[in-house]
Each structure stands twice: as C-alpha cells, then as structure tokens.
Chain A
C-alpha cells in the first residue's frame, strides 16, 4: 500500500475510535449514536440471523437491474446521439440540465404506472442513472482522436469492427466513468425510493427501524450499506487503475 493509503487507513481508524470513545464515555448521546463496535455487532447479527436477507437481496437485485439497464441504454443512447449531431444539438441543453431536475418527484408516477412492486424502484434507479451513462458515452466518443478513426478506415474495418476494435477501447476511460456513476446513482435512487415508499428492501428497513427507535438495526443496516458501497468502489477503482495504467504511462511519456 502507498504512504497515502496508510494515512487514509489511519484517518478512518482514528475517526472510528474517536466515535467509539465519544459514545462510550457519553460525550455524545449513546442512545441516538451507538458505538461503532455495536454497529458492527448489529451488522454481523443481521447477516448471520438472515432476518433481512430477503430485503438485502431485493435491494441489491433492484439496484443491479437498474444499473445494468441504465448502462446498456445509456451507452446505446450516447452512441445514437453521437451519430445524429442535429438531434444532439437539440437535446444537449436538456441533457446538461437533467440533474437540476428533482427526479424523485416522478417516483409516485412510476408507482401508479407499475404498481407497488420492484419495478417502480428499478425505473427510478434507471431514470436517475441513464443520463450519466449517455453523457459520459458522448464525451468519450467526442474525444476519440480523429487519427485513430482514420486509421480504422484505412484498415477497411466494418462499422461493427470499428466499434469493437477502436471506438469502445478508445473511449473506455469515459465509459468506465459512466459505469461507475451508473452504479452509484442506481443504488442511491433504489434505496431512497425504498426509504420513501416501499414495503421491503434495505431502505425500507432503515426507515422502519428509525421510526421504531431500533437504533442497532438502523445503524447495522447503514454500516452494511457503507461496507457494500465501499467494497464496490474499491473493486471499481482497482479495475480502473488497470485500465488506465497504459494511458497514464502514455501521458508521462509525452
């Protein structure tokens, strides 16, 4: 691990120890903020008891479905818009201001459309994430060096070969950023949707525990979410580093 990595671990560990001490010694209210060790114990209990296994599976399933759909349709949308510059000129201001709109206001509409089941959550996750993928795909496609596309033409590649062998690899850093955002946005939207209006899922169980003053369960579920998101980010970061390694070398050489 790098020196910065060790410092990061030390910082997080220090913050956790400080919270532990503050809660145990009464510097902060130990009822409303339980010690991190009790949160961890509650998280382990949640996992081992299987009490919330169905909720965890439902949330992860809905988040994954929303992320997958948003990644696929966002990529295809970005590709189509790149090929249709006139349509892009019309839509570009709307795409850029998309995240200024509070998208969660359409969640009740999805419930009316799809009923009270997992689909409104998948839909809100999809709607929240898809534009991030489309915008990053467009960014990536617009930044492919023209000379690489000309090289593809000189090699007489078909359109499908050009996409597979040149377009996607050349825009991969941007596509990967899009995928990272899609995963984060999809899970945020699904959990927030469950929090607001749902009868199951991690978000719902956190809200339920909160309303019933069941702080160990609430913090245990929150800790599990944090660990999940943290692990996911670590994996994505590692994959990204492998992808960028050659490009970083390239930048260093020029």
Chain B
C-alpha cells in the first residue's frame, strides 16, 4: 500500500525544516517500590511538523497515553529527549501546548465562560483579550447561549466542547488530545470529529490525537502512527493523503475503508499480544 511511509518524520508536502515536536529514543519506565521496573513505552522516535494532524492508534495498554503525558511534560521520559519548538521538554507543560482529556475536565463550580477562560486567564493573557477569545471560541463551538450555564446543565458532548474551547482560547501551537471522545456515542463522536477538524483549520495548530478508534484516526488525520503492544513502539506510520477541508463525510470514500483495513491488519496481531499481556 502506498499510504505507508517507512520513517516517522513529518510527511506533509513542503514540510518545514524544524519540527514542532521531536521525540528522540524516548523510553518510559515506571518503578513501584519493591517491584521490577515496568517498561511502558519506547524507545520511540518521531517528529511532528507544524500544522500537521497526527493520530496514534494502538492496542489497550500499549503506552499511548504515556506517550502523550511525556509529550506534554506531565511525566518525564526515563531515557531519550523531547524537543518542542526546538526547546527541550523537561518537567512541566511548555508554553504553547494545550491538552484535552477523555474525562470531563470542566470545573463544576465555574460557568461555561469561566471554564473556557480558565487556562488563558491564569496564564497571563489580559482580561479583555481573554473575553474576546472566549466569545469567539464559544461561538465557534456553538456554546454562546450556554456561556452563563454550568457544566451540570450540559450533555457529555457539550462539556467536551467546553474543554475544546478552553484549549482553543489558549491559542496553542500544539494541541494534545487524549481520547477526547472516548466517552461519547458514535454519532456524537463523528460530529465532534468535525468540530475538531474545524478547530484545527481555524487555529492552524498542530494536533496529536491519541485514540483507540481506527475510524476516528483515519477520518481526522494526515498521518497515523500505529503502535505495538506494550512497551509501545511505532510499527508503522500511515499517510492518509486527505485534503485539509475534509469532514466526516469522507467515511464514505472507498479509500477510507482501505486505510481502515490496512491499519487493522497491522494492529490485529498487536492487539492479540496485548490481550495475552493482561494479568
């Protein structure tokens, strides 16, 4: 299949010389007291070019979320190095990085407006600018009429849109999405996928999506990294070749099915291994 590339550098035509995010032989071990080190990830090396939409799929427990935590600076690598915009990522989230989690990360005591404003407001952005950005983000996400409402009054999909709006207000150069639609039903997932693609085009951010859904990865991404069973390493990187103005209607494209089948063929063996690894 021509979609498969044999290296893990950014594959966009005319890609920039300097990657936005670069992993170099990154490994992550976890050490519990009195137990042998748990090898969760790596070694992993890859690069993300500015403006790229990159997804990571892999079997359960392969280290996808660990990869994202390490990329975000929420968890330091045991070995290897990560560079964001040329600067090393140490312990702490670099400026210009936003995250959206699978779990509901809305603060229940803040209304929708204040939830969306949270990161920017406490990140030193002037209040007038925060208000302008939040109004734009809520309008973009179709949440303007809920600005004074509380998360309790919203559906799961709407709460996730509030979290996306919060990330959007930060104006990140890199948006890390950790299975953000995992808790939603299939139809809402497709629609949320459209929202994310709109957000990606509108902001020009680079996106790294962690997902266990092959469909989601194929629909949203420029490139898809396929991970092995734990300890996760990339066994393939697939370029989808989609146009930037794509949306969920590409699921009807014959190539969508081909990509899906190819990825599942590569993943199946790894998923079986992952099943055997379970205690």
Q: Chain A residues in contact with chain B, CB under 8 A?
A: 145, 147-148, 150-151, 153-157, 161, 165-166, 169-170, 172, 246-254
Q: Write 14 A-B pairs (CB below 8 A) sorted by A numbering.
A: A147-B104, A151-B118, A153-B74, A156-B122, A156-B123, A165-B122, A166-B107, A246-B150, A247-B152, A249-B150, A250-B151, A252-B152, A253-B153, A253-B154
Q: Sort A-B residue pairs by CB-CB distance and give the 7 closest, nearest first.
A: A250-B152, A249-B152, A155-B119, A147-B103, A151-B105, A147-B105, A154-B99
CB neighbours of A252 from chain B (8 A): 152
Instruction: Decide: B119 and A154 in contact? CB cutoff 8 A.
Output: yes
CB neighbours of B104 from chain A (8 A): 147
CB neighbours of B107 from chain A (8 A): 148, 151, 166, 169-170
CB neighbours of B242 from chain A (8 A): none
Instruction: Decide: A250 and B150 in contact? CB cutoff 8 A.
Output: yes
Q: Mark B127-164, 1 if CB is under 8 A from A, else 0.
A: 00000000000000000000000111111100000000
CB neighbours of A249 from chain B (8 A): 150, 152-153
Known A-B contacts: A147-B101, A150-B99. Give 12 more (CB < 8 A).
Answer: A153-B92, A154-B74, A155-B123, A156-B93, A156-B95, A156-B122, A169-B107, A170-B107, A247-B152, A249-B153, A251-B152, A253-B154
How many residues on the B side are at the interface (Cβ–Cβ under 8 A)? 26
A51 and B110 CA atoms in complex are apart in Å by 50
Q: What residue of chain A has the Cβ atom nearest to residue B93's Cβ?
A: A154
Q: How many inter-chain residue pairs (CB < 8 Å) link A and B?
A: 66
Give B143 Cβ to nearest chain A Cβ, in Å. 16
Instruction: Decide: A246 and B152 in contact? CB cutoff 8 A.
Output: yes
Q: What residue of chain A has the Cβ atom nearest to residue B92's Cβ?
A: A156
Instruction: Decide: B108 and A247 in contact? CB cutoff 8 A.
Output: yes
CB neighbours of B103 from chain A (8 A): 145, 147
Q: Chain B residues in contact with chain A, CB under 8 A?
A: 72, 74, 92-93, 95, 97-99, 101, 103-105, 107-109, 118-119, 122-123, 150-156
CB neighbours of B118 from chain A (8 A): 151, 155
Give B125 Cβ to nearest chain A Cβ, in Å. 11
A247 and B108 CA atoms in complex are apart in Å by 7
Give A180 Cβ to nearest chain B Cβ, in Å. 19
Q: What residue of chain B has the Cβ atom nearest to residue A252's Cβ?
A: B152
Instruction: Decide: A157 and B122 in contact? CB cutoff 8 A.
Output: yes
A147 and B74 CA atoms in complex are apart in Å by 12
Contact of B72 among A154, A165, A172, A250 (CB under 8 A): A154
Instruction: Decide: A150 and B74 in contact? CB cutoff 8 A.
Output: yes
Given contacts A156-B93, A169-B109, contact A161 B150 (CB under 8 A): no
